[in-house]
Amino acid sequence: MTRTAVIVAWEKFTDIDVYLAWDLLNRIRLRDKEWKVKIVGTEPIHSSLFGINQQMHGNIDECKYADVVLFTSGQTTRRLIKDKAYLDRFQLNPDKQIIASMCSGALLLAALGLLDGLTATTYPTAVKDLQAFGIEVEEKPLVTHGNIATAAGCLAAIDLVGWIAGKTHGTELMEEVVASVQPVGKGLACIY
């Protein structure tokens, strides 16, 4: 069964939040060849904060069909949460999809109404903007409610992708993915 995880990027995306998720989500493919990972945006190419010109693998209209949708981060999120035409393209369903965010990506989950009545975490510089949606912000690396997760602080991507892998493939693969990126002498176990 083909399943797809999409990483949502935009102009001036935070490099580490896109590429850490990209690598970690692709590690699931080492155990499940029908697992696909794509980086999607609104343009053929988006440039990162630090200047990587990243070709998109598709556009955000695909998010509604994806099994996992992960919003990344960057200052641009502050503009996108006010862009109704942009937000209208997602049409996400948290009953059927796993929906997650890194750092300020939580603002997009909030703008899409996905955090109504829930708590969440976000990057410190985005806390006030998230609270402005009426969301209670928790000072934690990872906050999950059902199929929705918010993570914050770049390395919390490990916890977040671990949680995603656990939801899609079970505890064993979750542990394998997390162990595969640990430092030597601190829990590293090779996955390839």
**Interacting residues toward a copy of itself by CB under 8 A:** 14-16, 19-20, 22-24, 26, 29, 37, 50, 52-55, 121-125, 139-142, 151-156, 158-159, 180-186, 188, 190
**In whole angstroms, how close is the CB of 84 to a copy of itself at the nearest point?**
28
Nearer residue to a copy of itself within complex by CB, 58 or 153: 153
- Report residue 119: phi and psi, to 5°: -100, 165
What's the min distance (Å) between Cβ of 105 and a copy of itself? 13
CB of 106 to a copy of itself, least distance (A): 11
Per DSSP bridges, beta strands 58-59 and 35-41 are: parallel
List residues bridging with 55 in a β-sheet.
Answer: 45
Written as six digits, the tokens of 188 are 């590293």
Comparing CB distances to a copy of itself, the nearer of 118 and 154 is 154
H or E stretch covering 38: strand 35-41
CA 174 to the chain's CA centroid: 16
In angstroms, what is the minimal distance from the CB of 60 to a copy of itself?
A: 19
Three-class SS of residue 170? Answer: coil
Place of tokens 């949606």: 133
CB nearer to a copy of itself: give 90 or 123.
123
